[in-house]
Amino acid sequence: MARPSAAPRLILGIETSCDETAAAVITPDGRILSNIVSSQADLHARYGGVVPEVASRRHLELVTPVVQNALAEADTTLDDVGLLGVTAGPGLIGALLVGVAAAKAIAWARRLPLAAVDHLQGHVASLYLEPDAIAPPFLCLLASGGHTLLLDVQDRGKRPRVLGTTLDDAAGEAFDKGARLLGLAYPGGAEIDRVARDGDPTAYDFPVARVPGLDFSFSGLKTALLYAVKKLQPDELERRRADLAASYQRAIVRALVQRTEQAAGEIGGGKVAAVGGVAANSELRASLPDATAAPLALCTDNAAMIASAARFTEAIPYPGYLALDAYASTA
Ligand code: KG4
Ligand code: ZN
């Protein structure tokens, strides 16, 4: 008797570029079957930021169980996987190497191809997952802990043109550093977002940096917050924390929104999208009502977006990827 036609081969994604150990299984047409993210945030909170060596060691402990969870939750096995995608960079090199080594080992054992995914392309590819997938062309604001970019995305498989970037801190970094000055827990973006809900965004007039073109700058803003905090006694800081958080958040969001709208105007309108951890920010989402923001669960680092990008990245056939290396930054 003829067997029913084989199920489409699934894609297994692995992401370990920073402090999230993540694995996901998706279908070739972009449906998420599982998306497991094991955050190490608690582990790093006591240091007020990610400690690279600690992150690498934790990835090593977590990567195998997280991959097993992703397969189990997708109700599948490696027998159904046809392609692996792994973040090769940019990120913390020791952390990246754990994911790359795990992906190589699985792909090699199964004689499968492996796609070396760029983390930033991964964030953009969070928009290509169902049920809310959008297709290029679109203008993309990518705001994360490591990057702030305005991208002209013309094609899923090609590197987008960079229209603007930050001259100093990334938007997420500005959130994290600001949270630290305010005595809020790491990771700071979500904390500022939460605390700001009870504050007055007009209480403090923090500056939006004026830099030429479509670039961003957040370091002056951080310094302004530092001076505002320094003027306060501890009990006053306690009372003004929500106002400071709300005003600071508004300044970051205004900078992001102004530049995004300016860029949209310059490239002649069209669709606008927002991705990356900072795209989870409630005020940013509300301030870009006509933009497509990535679903909340796909804003911060995850492996579904990496599996998604793997579909549009040329895969390295078995066993060529054994020589694959990770990279900390894009040249
Ligand atoms: O994309 P992501 O998970 O990692 C990187 O690739 O960097 O982004 C993490 C960043 C952190 O800086 C974090 O504070 C920020 O995203 N973030 C937020 C929110 N949730 C996460 N920033 C503002 N509001 C949020 N709700
Ligand atoms: Zn990221």
Q: Does an H or E element contain 57, and which?
A: helix 52-73
Determine the residue of 278, 298, 301, 305 to mutate for testing ligand 1's pocket, defined as the one with the most ligand atoms within 8 A of the Cβ atom: 278
**233 band by pLDDT with thresholds 50, 70 and 90:** very high
For tokens 């991208």, the residue is 151
Cα–Cα distance measured from residue 160 to residue 174, given in angstroms and rounded to the nearest whole number: 24
CA of 279 to the centre of ligand 1 (A): 8
pLDDT in tens, 253-285: 999 999 999 999 999 889 999 999 999 999 999
Ligand 1: which atom is nearest the Cα of residue 147?
7
Is the pLDDT confidence value at 4 over 80?
Answer: no
Distances (CA, A) of 295 to 129, 235, 277: 10, 38, 11
What's the pLDDT score for residue 187?
85
CA of 216 to the centre of ligand 2 (A): 18
Is the pLDDT confidence value at 5 over 70?
Answer: no
What's the pLDDT score for residue 117?
98
Q: Residue 144 CA: which ligand is closest?
A: 1
Q: How many residues does the chain have?
A: 331
Amino acid at residue number 222: K
What's the pLDDT score for residue 124?
98
Q: Residue 50 CA: which ligand is closest?
A: 1
Ligand 1: which atom is nearest the Cα of residue 301?
3
Averaged pLDDT, 192-198: 98
Is the pLDDT confidence value at 59 over 70?
Answer: yes
Is residue 118 lining ligand 1, measured as CB closer than 6 Å?
A: no
User: Contact 311/10 with Cβ under 8 angstroms?
Assistant: no
CA of 101 to the centre of ligand 1 (A): 26
What's the pLDDT score for residue 109?
98
Cα–Cα distance measured from residue 235 to residue 63, given in angstroms and rounded to the nearest whole number: 44
What's the pLDDT score for residue 207?
87
Ligand 1: which atom is nearest the Cα of residue 119?
6
Cα–Cα distance measured from residue 281 to residue 286, given in angstroms and rounded to the nearest whole number: 9
CA of 106 to the centre of ligand 1 (A): 30
pLDDT in tens, 94-142: 999 999 999 999 999 999 999 999 999 999 999 999 999 999 999 999 9
Ligand 1: which atom is nearest the Cα of residue 282?
26
What's the pLDDT score for residue 223?
95
Sign, Cα dihedral of 315, 14, 329, 125 = positive
Averaged pLDDT, 61-79: 98
**199 band by pLDDT with thresholds 50, 70 and 90:** very high
Is the pLDDT confidence value at 7 over 80?
Answer: no
**Closest residue to atom 24 of ligand 1, CA basis:** 281
What's the pLDDT score for residue 89?
97
For tokens 């990535």, the residue is 294
User: Contact 107/75 with Cβ under 8 angstroms?
Assistant: no
**Closest residue to atom 10 of ligand 1, CA basis:** 145
Ligand 1: which atom is nearest the Cα of residue 175?
14
Is residue 280 lining ligand 1, measured as CB closer than 6 Å?
A: yes
pLDDT in tens, 146-188: 999 999 999 999 999 999 999 999 999 999 999 999 999 988 9
